[in-house]
Structure formats: C-alpha cells, structure tokens
Chains A and B, each alone.
Chain A
C-alpha cells in the first residue's frame, strides 16, 4: 500500500518568513495530493490540493508543488502569520477503485510574532 513520509515534524519560523513542508510517497499510481491544516481542538481542514497532471498550484499565500518523477510534493507558505500556527498534514491517494487517503505524520508549524 501507499506510504507517506512527511518532514520536518516541527518547524519554527518568524512572522513574515516562508515555511516549507515536504512529503514523499511510495505508490507511483497515486495522483491526488491534498494538504490539511489542523488547529488545536479542531478537525483537519482541507487547504489546498493538487493532481498529478499539474506541477504547481497556488492559492494566495500557499502553494503546492509536485514532482512525480521523484515522488515528492511540498507545501509552501509565504509571509507567514501567527494564525498559520497549526499542524499540517499531507496525504496521497490514487483514483482507481476504492482508493483512500494515506496521511503523513504531520508537521507542527509555529509562527512567532
């Protein structure tokens, strides 16, 4: 089955800096890669996703890049703000049959004012 590795496990940045979280996956058939943000006491929230036919996708201050050859994808947050502090999860899945999401272990991002 699919295996998703995520790093770093924790990331501390100063407000205004950029943050990058990286994930690798094992199943070359995976072609859908969502990212989730989980704030304390809440459920994971889908913030951005990318399909394998696209190399990069951007939504305001967040962007995701995908390298299918290397089987890795990354989340980029620019101009970080304290409210970006949360745990971020990457995930991967295919679209054949009953594919489901496999999650990384999460990255705790702390943005200091």
Chain B
C-alpha cells in the first residue's frame, strides 16, 4: 500500500483565496483525521470521520474551514477565504478501529500551506 496520500505537498496562496487540500487514506481504514501542525500549537486535531461520517469537528477553528469525505477513499479540507494565520502544515491520517477506539494512526506527508 502506498500509505496516506496528500496533495498538494506545498500550496502558496493569497489571502482571501479558496484553498482545497486533498487526502487519500489507506484502503480498509475506517477513520480519517485532519490535523494542523504549527510551532506554537503543535499537532491539533481539526476534524475526524468514521466510515465517511464526520464525528467531531470541534477542532475546526472557524466557519471558514470545512471538510468532506464523499467516499471511503477521498477527503478534502477547504479553507474559504484563507488568511495568513492559516499558514501551517496540514496532515491527513487514517486508522482502523478495534473495540470501538482508534488503533494507531498513519499520517500522510502533509501539505505545507502558506497564505500571503
């Protein structure tokens, strides 16, 4: 398996523009997570899905952020409009459940977003 695949790897955009980050989880995994990593705040969980259904989006910073998972092999994280403070590395991770809870998590390579 190729692992979790994210695209693009790098994104530079102007403030106010829409940004869409993409993720392909590992086949067979039923959990998908979106994280944001910054020096100041570390790894923050933004939202996660179980069997394509959003379970908890309490980590999404504001309404400018939205995420979808239309099928088991694809998810998007959208920021509209983007702001400079959204600059960070965004990670997608997938995992599987055992006894109801998450077992490990496999991360993608991340998307480095810069909003100027």
Asked, given contacts A43-B91, A89-B43, whether A100 binds B56 with beta carbons under 8 Å apart, the answer is: yes
Chain A nearest CB: distance from B93 CB in Å? Answer: 8
Q: Are B100 and A97 in contact (CB under 8 A)?
A: yes
Interface-facing stretch out of A59-67, A74-82, A101-109: A101-109
Residue interface bits B89-116, CB-to-A below 8 A is 1, else 0? 0010100001111111111111000000
Q: Are B106 and A96 in contact (CB under 8 A)?
A: no
Q: Are A43 and B107 in contact (CB under 8 A)?
A: yes
- How far is B35's CA from A89's CA once the two chains are assembled, in angstroms? 14
Instruction: Tell me whether chain B's interface is mostly helix, strand or loop, or mixed.
Output: strand
Q: Any chain A CB within 8 A of the CB of B45?
A: yes
- How far is B106's CA from A34's CA once the two chains are assembled, in angstroms? 11
Which residue of chain A is the closest to B42 with respect to CB atoms? A105
Chain B nearest CB: distance from A5 CB in Å? Answer: 12
Q: Are B55 and A98 in contact (CB under 8 A)?
A: yes
Residue interface bits A26-49, CB-to-B below 8 A is 1, else 0? 000000101010000011111001
- How far is B106's CA from A68's CA once the two chains are assembled, in angstroms? 25
Which of A94, A98, A105 has its CB near the most chain B CB atoms (within 10 A)?
A98
Q: Which A residues touch B105, using CB under 8 A?
A: 34, 46, 101
Name the one of B43, B98, B108 contacting A95, with C-beta atoms under 8 angstroms.
B98
Asked, given contacts A43-B91, A98-B55, A100-B33, whether A34 binds B101 with beta carbons under 8 Å apart, the answer is: no
Q: Are B104 and A99 in contact (CB under 8 A)?
A: no
Asked, given contacts A89-B43, A98-B50, A106-B42, whether A42 binds B100 with beta carbons under 8 Å apart, the answer is: no
Asked, given contacts A98-B50, A98-B55, whether A46 binds B106 with beta carbons under 8 Å apart, the answer is: yes
Query: B: which residues have CB within 8 A of A?
Result: 4, 33, 42-43, 45, 48, 50, 55-56, 91, 93, 98-110
- Besides A34-B105, A101-B45, 20 more A-B contacts (Cβ < 8 Å) are A32-B101, A32-B102, A42-B109, A42-B110, A43-B93, A43-B109, A43-B110, A46-B105, A93-B102, A95-B99, A97-B101, A98-B48, A99-B100, A99-B101, A100-B45, A100-B56, A103-B42, A103-B43, A105-B42, A106-B42
